[in-house]
């Protein structure tokens, strides 16, 4: 053990003791020891061997004993015990400016935050400002501090880089003489983290564009300025390169600089097969003649491929698919009709249910699920069952205000507790419109345990969506050590949707697992997990990630028409008369039986699902018909899986699910709501 290692251990002990609230002279003793070891001229180990440890100034008997134990056994019981009391990752939080031990302790105890990524997420979602003595200003300073640290480490989350890039792009496009401008590189491919920015401009004269670029307010300093390429460092801490080229070569350059490298290797191989060499400038024929491409589509056409969307260019089979004309039609942002995971002030959100619903509607969504945290996540103000009931009344009243063209669902983000149980009983889950089940705590359990935990939630028939499945936080915290293949297979079997959480710090599932999930027949849900109305803008990052995993609108339940989504939820065993609610509430004297009252907006598909229309619902026969309708466009593989999983007793489902088989959906659904309404 080197002096440095010893010093590190004692400094960490000092930090943890201070966070714990130990008397200051003890803390200082450990810190002084750490300093002594760090600066000592000889190896401490040698001094220890000679028996001179206690003669070192500033090393008292308590410290000397601990060094003794460390050098003898390589471990220190005192430290091990301390680490169990106070998470060791907290020591790192002390390196953030404006965070002393008292504040770290407060944030840890009140919010359960133990790592830097968690701290960043808490700051970004406005959770720090409400803690005693912190406020918005400190919260902002803490964020700046974390970002400053990051610049040393390289890649930044997509969500931090994208808005800046769009700002610069807009600026470039507005310059005189600029015919076309794009951002290339991993940003264009919507990778989860970004290392630098590459801008391309098509213009006849490069000089004025270069000159204007370096004066953009985001530019911190100019690294190099030349006739065809300029490099700058941005305030953000990333490098940005600008290349200006003749517009008739723009397509070739854009294709080249968009990457990925692996993808481009394949494209060049195809060019060679056709007797062409491909550079960033042009195709070159054997006779030396050039073949220019103003658009990327021309580049792909020249090598015999259909146009490949940038998000797919990772050499994961897209070349083959493009050659065979089998590229999927990727999901698009404008196709999203619902957001099924969002928070309100009922738990840790920053806006009321009404504000969230209005924001969602103003963005063109037709349906929003309010999914506040469940009771055991006390730090976020998780809801007890009683509070959940109170919340329902507010949701109903906001729904009445909004009218029938928008569906507000009551859901919950239910904690999958460390022991694997869900935080609400099946009764409670069944009464919700939609259930998102998520892991937030004990993410470091061993692979077997944490996988079982997640599988348990997947197999619960009242769970509709698994929220941010891996639990990763970008750019630094890796997800749980899950057997992802088992998770994806189970999800495909049970029909549960896997979330593509669009928060740029999550983007979870990631692209690779999305692609695998779709191969196995899973469904996806692209949700923003909004804690503030502005967060609905995150949807774009979720869509980008889903596109990287080759998702189509058919794969994504948010892109389904609302009627189909609600029907799917009905079939998953929620007994709340969701589809009927808008009609009931909007027409004041709630009519008893009224498929006719169903508003055109909710439409024909909703009518048969109305619980009020009991006679019209021939319990059994209706179901298969409905689920066929719902799965109509799904791949045959998906359909088979979903049906098997939904209809028959699930083999993986233990007895506890069987006491509540599908049966109550008809009877229970009709009866329950009446009781609750009364």
**Pure H helices in 125-157:** 135-151
Binding span for Zn ion by CB under 5 A among 324-332, 358-366, 433-441, 541-549? 433-441
Comparing CB distances to Zn ion, the nearer of 159 and 673 is 159
- Does the protein bind Zn ion through residue 339 (CB under 5 A)? no
Strands 178-183 and 219-225 turn out to be unpaired
Binding span for Zn ion by CB under 5 A among 16-24, 344-352, 438-446, 597-605? 438-446
Minimum distance of Zn ion from residue 372's CB (angstroms): 8
- What are the angstrom distances between the C-alpha of 635 and each of 431, 543, 554? 31, 20, 9
Helix, strand, coil percentages in the chain from 3-state DSSP, rounded to 5 = 50, 15, 35
Comparing CB distances to Zn ion, the nearer of 314 and 529 is 529
Report the C-alpha gap between 352 and 155 in whole angstroms: 35
Binding span for Zn ion by CB under 5 A among 104-112, 489-497, 521-529, 553-561? 521-529
Comparing CB distances to Zn ion, the nearer of 107 and 530 is 530
- Does the protein bind Zn ion through residue 296 (CB under 5 A)? no
- Does the protein bind Zn ion through residue 413 (CB under 5 A)? yes
Report the C-alpha gap between 344 and 356 in whole angstroms: 7
Comparing CB distances to Zn ion, the nearer of 338 and 638 is 338
- On whether the CB atoms of residues 299 and 251 are closer than 8 A, the answer is yes
Minimum distance of Zn ion from residue 265's CB (angstroms): 39
Minimum distance of Zn ion from residue 373's CB (angstroms): 7
- Does the protein bind Zn ion through residue 348 (CB under 5 A)? no
List all residues 6 or more positions away from 401 whose beta carbon is below 8 Å from its beta carbon. 354
**Can you list the pairs that 71-75 forms with residues at least 24 positions away whose Cβ atoms lie under 8 Å?**
71/1, 71/44, 71/45, 74/1
- Does the protein bind Zn ion through residue 438 (CB under 5 A)? yes
Closest residue by Cα to residue 555 from 612, 495, 617, 609:
495
Report the C-alpha gap between 125 and 370 in whole angstroms: 16
Number of residues near Zn ion (by CB under 5 A): 3
Binding span for Zn ion by CB under 5 A among 28-36, 93-101, 380-388, 405-413? 405-413
Among 529, 554, 584, 597, indicate the residue that binds Zn ion (CB under 5 A).
529
- On whether the CB atoms of residues 86 and 92 are closer than 8 A, the answer is no
- Does the protein bind Zn ion through residue 511 (CB under 5 A)? no
Closest residue by Cα to residue 209 from 196, 199, 197:
199
Residue in this structure with the two tokens 């002393």, named with its chain if needed: 100
- On whether the CB atoms of residues 36 and 6 are closer than 8 A, the answer is no
Report the C-alpha gap between 430 and 442 in whole angstroms: 26
- Does the protein bind Zn ion through residue 430 (CB under 5 A)? no
Comparing CB distances to Zn ion, the nearer of 501 and 627 is 501
Comparing CB distances to Zn ion, the nearer of 122 and 602 is 122
Residue in this structure with the two tokens 């690779």, named with its chain if needed: 512
Comparing CB distances to Zn ion, the nearer of 505 and 552 is 505
Minimum distance of Zn ion from residue 119's CB (angstroms): 16
Minimum distance of Zn ion from residue 383's CB (angstroms): 13
Minimum distance of Zn ion from residue 371's CB (angstroms): 6
Strands 196-203 and 219-225 turn out to be unpaired
- Does the protein bind Zn ion through residue 499 (CB under 5 A)? no
Comparing CB distances to Zn ion, the nearer of 399 and 438 is 438
- On whether the CB atoms of residues 352 and 531 are closer than 8 A, the answer is no
Comparing CB distances to Zn ion, the nearer of 190 and 466 is 466
- Does the protein bind Zn ion through residue 423 (CB under 5 A)? no
- Does the protein bind Zn ion through residue 376 (CB under 5 A)? no
Give me the residues that bind Zn ion (CB under 5 A), please: 413, 438, 529
């Amino acid at each position: 053990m080197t002096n440095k290692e010893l010093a590190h251990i004692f400094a960490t002990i000092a930090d943890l003791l201070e966070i714990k609230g130990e008397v200051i002279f003890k803390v200082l003793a450990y810190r002084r020891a750490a300093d002594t070891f760090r600066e000592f001229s000889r190896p401490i180990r040698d001094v220890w061997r000679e028996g001179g440890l206690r003669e070192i100034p500033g090393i008292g008997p308590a410290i000397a004993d601990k060094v003794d134990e460390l050098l003898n056994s390589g471990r220190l019981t005192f430290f091990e015990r301390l680490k169990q009391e106070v998470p060791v990752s907290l020591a790192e939080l002390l390196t953030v400016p404006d965070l002393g031990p008292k504040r770290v302790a407060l944030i840890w105890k009140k919010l359960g935050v133990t790592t830097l990524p968690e701290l960043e997420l808490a700051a970004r979602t406005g959770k720090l400002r409400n803690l005693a003595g912190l406020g918005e200003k400190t919260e902002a300073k803490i964020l700046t501090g974390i970002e400053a640290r990051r610049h040393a480490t390289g890649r930044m989350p997509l969500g931090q880089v994208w808005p800046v890039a769009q700002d610069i792009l807009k600026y470039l496009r507005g310059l005189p003489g600029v015919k076309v401008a794009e951002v290339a590189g991993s940003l264009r491919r919507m990778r989860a983290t970004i290392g630098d920015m590459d801008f391309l401009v098509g213009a006849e004269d490069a000089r004025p564009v270069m000159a204007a670029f370096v004066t953009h307010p985001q530019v911190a300093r100019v690294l190099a300025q030349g006739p065809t390429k300029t490099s700058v460092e941005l305030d953000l801490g990333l490098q940005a390169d600008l290349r200006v080229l003749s517009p008739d070569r723009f397509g070739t350059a854009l294709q080249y600089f968009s990457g990925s490298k692996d993808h481009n290797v394949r494209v060049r191989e195809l060019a060679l097969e056709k007797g062409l060499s491909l550079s960033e400038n042009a195709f070159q024929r054997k006779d030396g003649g050039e073949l220019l491409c103003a658009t990327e589509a021309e580049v792909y056409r020249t090598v015999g491929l259909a146009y490949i969307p940038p998000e797919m260019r990772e050499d994961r089979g897209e070349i083959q698919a493009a050659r065979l004309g089998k590229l999927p039609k990727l999901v698009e942002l404008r196709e999203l009709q619902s957001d099924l995971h969002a928070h309100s002030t009922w738990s840790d959100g920053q806006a009321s249910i009404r504000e969230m619903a209005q924001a969602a509607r103003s963005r063109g969504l037709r349906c929003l699920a309010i999914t506040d945290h469940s009771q055991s996540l006390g730090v976020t103000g998780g809801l007890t069952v009683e509070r959940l009931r109170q919340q329902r009344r507010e949701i109903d009243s906001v729904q009445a205000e909004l009218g029938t063209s928008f569906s507000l669902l009551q859901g919950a983000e239910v904690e999958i507790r460390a022991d694997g149980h869900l935080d609400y009983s099946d009764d409670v889950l069944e009464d919700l419109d939609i259930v998102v089940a998520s892991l937030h705590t004990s993410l470091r359990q061993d692979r077997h345990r944490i996988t079982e935990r997640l599988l348990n939630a997947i197999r619960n028939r009242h769970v509709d969506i698994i929220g941010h499945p891996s639990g990763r936080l970008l750019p630094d915290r890796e997800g749980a050590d899950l057997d992802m293949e088992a998770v994806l297979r189970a999800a495909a079997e049970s029909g549960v949707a896997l979330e593509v959480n669009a928060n740029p710090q999550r983007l979870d599932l990631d692209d690779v697992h999305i692609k695998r999930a779709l191969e196995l027949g899973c469904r996806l849900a692209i949700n923003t997990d909004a804690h503030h109305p502005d967060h609905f803008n995150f949807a774009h990052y979720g869509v980008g990630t889903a596109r990287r995993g080759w998702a189509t609108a058919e794969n994504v339940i948010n892109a389904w028409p609302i009627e189909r989504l609600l029907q799917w939820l009905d079939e998953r065993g929620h007994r709340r008369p969701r589809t009927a609610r808008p009609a009931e509430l909007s027409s004041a004297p709630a009519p008893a039986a009224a498929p006719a009252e169903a508003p055109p907006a909710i439409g024909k598909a909703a009518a048969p699902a109305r619980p009020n229309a009991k006679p019209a619902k021939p319990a059994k026969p209706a179901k298969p018909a409905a689920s066929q309708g719902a799965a109509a466009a799904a791949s045959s593989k998906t359909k088979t899986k979903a049906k098997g999983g939904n209809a028959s007793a699930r083999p993986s489902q233990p007895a506890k699910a069987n006491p509540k088989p599908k049966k109550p959906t008809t009877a229970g659904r009709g009866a329950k709501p009446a009781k609750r309404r009364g």
